[in-house]
Amino acid sequence: MSGASAGGEEDAERGEALLLPPRERRGSAELEGPPLGLGAAELARARMAFVLFGFSSWSALNALWLELPEMYNVVPEGYELATYMLGALALTNLVPISLAAMPRRLREALPLPRLITGDVMLAAVLCFLLAAFWDVAIEVGGVRHSLPLLVLVAAAGVANNTSTVLYWPWVGRQGASWTRWMGIGEGCSGLVPGLLALVQGAGSGHARFSASTFFVVIGCLNCVALAGFLHLRALEAKGGLADAASSVAAGAGADAAATGAGEAEDDDAVKGADGEAVGDGHLQDSSPLLRSGADEGWRSSLARSVNSGAILVYATQSWLAFWLFGIIQSVNSYATSGYPQAGTVLLGCTAIGFFMDPIGRATVGSVAWLSLTRPRHLLAPIIVFTASAAFILLAAAMSPEPPLHDAPGGAVLIVLCSGVCAYLFGLMNTSVYIIGRHIQSGPKPEDFNWTASAALQAGSVMGAAFSVLFVVYLKLFTSA
């Protein structure tokens, strides 16, 4: 038979697979087929563009955290600067949470490409402003504070925190195969600044170049990231970002709509024995206790989220952010201050964290035991992550005498815990958006991304509140 015939049979098999219940097709890697109409060179450029685009997501904030060891000895806040920064960032999380909480019809009306373009440009401009004003202190109420720095931190928080609820919904509109490359790029937003900070020698007392130069370089890289996104927009306009599976799914959906046009309204989805809709791929609530005639509303939505495991996925996002973006960032300086060469240890924790994050994202699905395709697969990594994060918190609570502070190489354990936390965050955070493709596999997969991104920001707010209460107000932590 001809190659066209074989291809037609393959497409038919794909279409049939897409009409199966989610549980029967979750492990089907071939459903996330290659992008349509892209040659090898174009495909490589598109992947690189996604990595560059992803870099802009957290680059400004990551640059700030990496420069903390260099700024501690200059700014009047000293070691409390990290907590002041978290306080400045706390309110900025309300912006992305508000966007995600908008009614669906308003979210769909948002001009995402224009908003993303403006967001990347804002991140670049803020980096250049940080280069000029990070070390300027102003007297407020008789006390000197780094007010320009904190204002710029808040602005960077608006840019980078909002990127979560803008970038990922846009990625959700594209083919599924791009999710991994976007995740790698997001991880590089910490890796690249981390490598630059290591070359700089931030916090060592003899830095090779200033914090201002560091911020200028990150600003220039954000300009390159903007070029990457504009390239992706051009590809999107030509349909070059659609996967083969996405195209088949769209065709299957259209055929299903035509076939079912004459059917009764109450029979528009065929349910499996476990309450899953076969027609549209969405999990449906089959419990009569949760459905009472026309009264579905929030109860039906909650039931679907529980049955599909979406609640666990959202809780995972919030839990990861609570620890990583809230607690760990504010107590890391205290946790490392009791070890010899504390500045180098702190830089090591920060750098290895930013190095392991993209590795975690890149290894998603690389081997069977790293393929987190169902919500329950997140449980074991969550336990390991929490144990590692709790050790860092314990070291901060015991400061200035953290565990093994007087043992040779005692600081290695806390650096290792930082690396484990970052690796598992990268692995789980990227896997969440892949799991979401299975949980909500209908015509609007970006809807899941909106909620998952908002859950991440909510966790950041709770972590920042914890830090402000226990670090700044109650002053439960002391440095060596």
CATH assignment at residue 198: 1.20.1250.20
CB 463 within 8 A of CB 323: yes
What is d(CA 386, CA 393) in angstroms, rounded to the nearest whole number?
A: 10
Answer whether residue 64 is part of any domain.
yes
CB 137 within 8 A of CB 145: yes
Task: Specify the pLDDT at position 388.
Answer: 97
Question: Residues of 97-136 as b/e, b for ≥16 C-beta within 10 angstroms?
Answer: bebbeeeeeebeeeebbebbeebbbbbbbbbbbbbebbbe
Name the one residue in this structure whose structure tokens are 């994050």. 357
Q: Specify the DSSP class assigned to residue 277.
A: B
CB 427 within 8 A of CB 361: yes
What is d(CA 252, CA 279) in angstroms, rounded to the nearest whole number?
A: 10
What is d(CA 457, CA 151) in angstroms, rounded to the nearest whole number?
A: 19
Task: Specify the pLDDT at position 443.
Answer: 52
The radius of gyration of the chain from alpha carbons, rounded to an integer in Å, stands at 24
Q: Report CA-CA distances (Å) from 127 to 55, 77, 227, 240.
A: 14, 21, 17, 32
Task: Quote the tokens at residue 160.
Answer: 């980078």
Maximum separation of any 2 CA atoms in the chain, in Å: 85
Answer whether residue 296 is part of any domain.
no
SS3 for 346-407, per residue?
Answer: HHHHHHHHHHHHHHHHHCCCCCHHHCCCCHHHHHHHHHHHHHHHHHHHHHHHHCCCCCCCCC
Task: Quote the tokens at residue 416.
Answer: 């290792």
pTM of the predicted model as reported, rounded to 2 decimal places: 0.72
How many C-beta atoms surround the C-beta of residue 38 within 10 A? 18
Answer whether residue 28 is part of any domain.
no
What is d(CA 143, CA 202) in angstroms, rounded to the nearest whole number?
A: 27
Measured in degrees and rounded to the nearest 5, phi and psi for residue 395 equal: -65, -40
Answer whether residue 288 is part of any domain.
no
Answer whether residue 268 is part of any domain.
no
What is d(CA 246, CA 340) in angstroms, rounded to the nearest whole number?
A: 54
Answer whether residue 61 is part of any domain.
yes
Residue 139 in 3-state DSSP? Answer: strand
CB 320 within 8 A of CB 385: yes
Angle at 416 between CA 414 and CA 419, to 5 degrees: 115
What is d(CA 443, CA 256) in angstroms, rounded to the nearest whole number?
A: 13
Answer whether residue 253 is part of any domain.
no
Answer whether residue 355 is part of any domain.
yes
Domain extent at residue 468: 40-243+305-473
Number of folded domains in the chain?
A: 1
CB 167 within 8 A of CB 182: yes
Written as tens digits, the pLDDT of the chain (480 aa) is 444 444 444 444 444 444 344 443 444 443 355 555 678 889 999 999 999 999 999 999 999 988 988 898 899 988 788 878 877 887 788 888 888 888 888 888 999 999 999 999 999 999 999 999 999 999 888 888 899 999 999 999 999 999 989 999 999 888 888 988 999 999 999 889 988 988 998 877 788 999 999 999 999 999 999 999 999 999 999 888 876 444 444 444 444 444 444 444 444 443 443 443 333 434 333 333 333 333 445 566 556 666 668 899 999 999 999 999 888 988 888 899 889 888 888 878 888 888 899 899 988 877 777 788 889 999 999 999 999 999 999 999 998 889 988 887 889 999 999 999 999 999 999 999 888 877 765 556 677 888 888 899 889 888 878 877 887 777 788 776
| Beta bridge partner(s), residue 139 | 144
